[in-house]
Structure 1
Amino acid sequence: MSLLIKDGNCFNCNQTSYDTNLTIQNISHSTLQNVEITNRPFQVSTGILSLLAILYGFISMLAVIGNSLVIIVILKDKKMQSITNIFIANLALADVLIGVFSIPFQFQAALLQRWVVPYFLCPVAPFIKNLTVCVSVFTLTVIAIDRYIAVMHPLKAGLQMKVAAFWLANIWLFGILSSLPNLVFFGVIEVPDLPFKNQTKPFCAHAYPSKTFMSTHVFYLFFVQYLLPLLVISYTYFRIVFKIWGTKPPGQHLDSQESARTRNRKKVVKMLILVVCLFVVCWMPLHIYQVLSQTYPTINNYENIHIIWFCSNWLAMSNSCYNPFVYGLLNCKFKREYQKLFSYVTCCKQSTSEDRDLVDYSDISAGSARRIQMYGTQVSSFKNGSFRRECNGRLISLKRVSGNTAQL
């Protein structure tokens, strides 16, 4: 295939031959002066497009399934509904929208090199893409600020649920306002259907009022979606890391409760820093390309620029499917809830038979209990004639029935 269109820019479109056939549909004006069209031929093999289609489809599926699980885990268990986890659920919702709206449309456009879905979705897809990116990075920024206050000023009250709801509403509102130009200035145009002469095909492209307006919007998005949040997040987490991992003053000893709180903070901060690092790494190449394409437009004439763009765009979109794995690997609570969702039936069957066979109930008396070994898990607490242990992510209660016996 010899025609390539990306981010609303059409490559290898013969403007001289087909200028009279290009029309804008579903947008407020019909000018084409700002649709970027060049006559440099770019050859995109069917094999590459097929590979990209598979890759885009794969990350779309992972993004929807993985982040839906994150939302379900947080909503179904009130113990999981901390302020930080509420923001994580908001981040997951944004990634689900990317998986549903943004990734599939780019995938079909890359594969078919034409716009085959309903025309009204042409401005909706880039609008949702920019909206969800704004929501994601703003959410990460608010989480970083919340963690900063909790660690650096522990005596101050952290974000309450009403305040968190206020921030969530403003995050989405600011994201909508930042993305409105995509909703207004994108539409379906007719481009040359090469190599067929005098034939055109529909494709989704932008038609900004002026080149300056387009460049301003690109630089604005780079600033609010990437540079400014990166500076704020870097500063807050640098201070947090220095605080909780830094050298303690001589003679200062933490009690067991404070030590446990510090360990928990370290785990949470590690997880959040990894989430931020993934966001920065995944989105950096695409942001660099977008800035360079406005500063040095001639880069769009480079022979392999289309491959660079496709790879950069795929890497950015793939960020939406990594976070659920990070939560499961680095957060024991999310890991336990994942296990409940995936292995509940198996866990129930195994724990019922194995615990009944291997627990020595003769050690349990009416008022006390010795330490009991169960598959390498030690139970050392016994209260009110019962004790609890965790098996495969599920809490198992054993209760006293008589003076010296107990059953599940």
Structure 2
Amino acid sequence: MAARTTRRAPGKLMVTGEYAVLEPGRPAVVVAVDRYVTVTVTAAEDAEGADVVIDSDLLAHEVRLRRGREGLQVLPGRDPASARGAPAHIVSVVETVEQLRTERRLGLTPVRLSVRSDLHRGGVKTGLGSSAAVTVAAVRALADHYGMRLSREDVFRLALLAGVRIDAGPSGADLAAATWRGWVFYRSPDRQALLAGLRRHGVAHTLGRPWSGFTVRQLPPPTRLALHVGWSGRPASTTALVADLATRREWQRAVRSRFLDDSEQCVSAAERALLRDEPAALLDAVRTARGLLHRLDAETSLGIVTADLQRLCEVAESCGAGAKPSGAGGGDCGIALLPAHRSATLLRLRWTAAGITPLPLGVTAGAGADPGPEDRTAPDAAPYPRGHIR
């Protein structure tokens, strides 16, 4: 039986720091939730000329690709629709990991990547960071398949490098959550500088260099507050909202500077509250973060706070929770931190009555916890040394 390596990575929710974290060096607090994307890598036996085969429960057909000077290309002679269906994040992961191996004069073999996602409802994304989760899971699975033992930070760095090859705009906060899990404090590096480094020096050099502005550390979970998640029922495009914000004249003037500074203070307050396990202070930080998003929306007319998200927050607040939209807004999810003595059942019932779908999500354990059976190499996979990339 061929070696089979299965790895998974969780989805995420933003607690504080949305939009500001897009700026290099600016912070956010993000949390990983217990819904996963799972990637299994095997040798591509009988691949009929393909070097890489990708199948996914979100694709109508498998995608077959061949390595070439310009990267992975859809195998000639196949249905042209398969080219349109090629999952960009998976393709970029394969190209990035294999470029690293090529730069280190290590061999490549035909591989199959099978992707399964729990981060969608009926094929519709819910705003839990599925692109980041699949990127991290694919980096881990492919690297382990090739016998490369990566540190947690190496996984994150390769995942972010794979991401910036597609779009240097996203902060990487969702990748940090998918990598470290639990509650995470994160400052974003300069992704444009990383992209320039990739183009000029390649993957190995850029991977090993210091990344200006980058910080990540795990935070303790709150012991007297429970995280609840409501779905607005409307998917939103973070990429489109972020791109739209960059075009707003208001953002380019005083709005931007004030928002960034206020967001930094809010994130710092949330971090302190988690470190000290102060529930009232954390609720205040969440409410402040919501107010910052409302103010940004009012000043830029971006459409961050929809009627559904507003209703989600108001209902949660009526139940004693601190609530806010999570992420870029415009749809997707909102979060509520509910004191332990308050009724979670009442919150779910009121959300449902208001047209908000409660999502049965929990927070993952942080890095270092038992990863579970889906994160272990299958028994037929060969062992390999630990502690270095080879």
Same fold (TM over 0.5): no
- TM (norm. structure 1) is 0.20
- From the two aligned structures, give the one with the greater strand fraction: 2
- TM (norm. structure 2) is 0.21
Larger Rg, first or second structure (1 or 2): 1
- From the two aligned structures, give the one with the greater helix fraction: 1
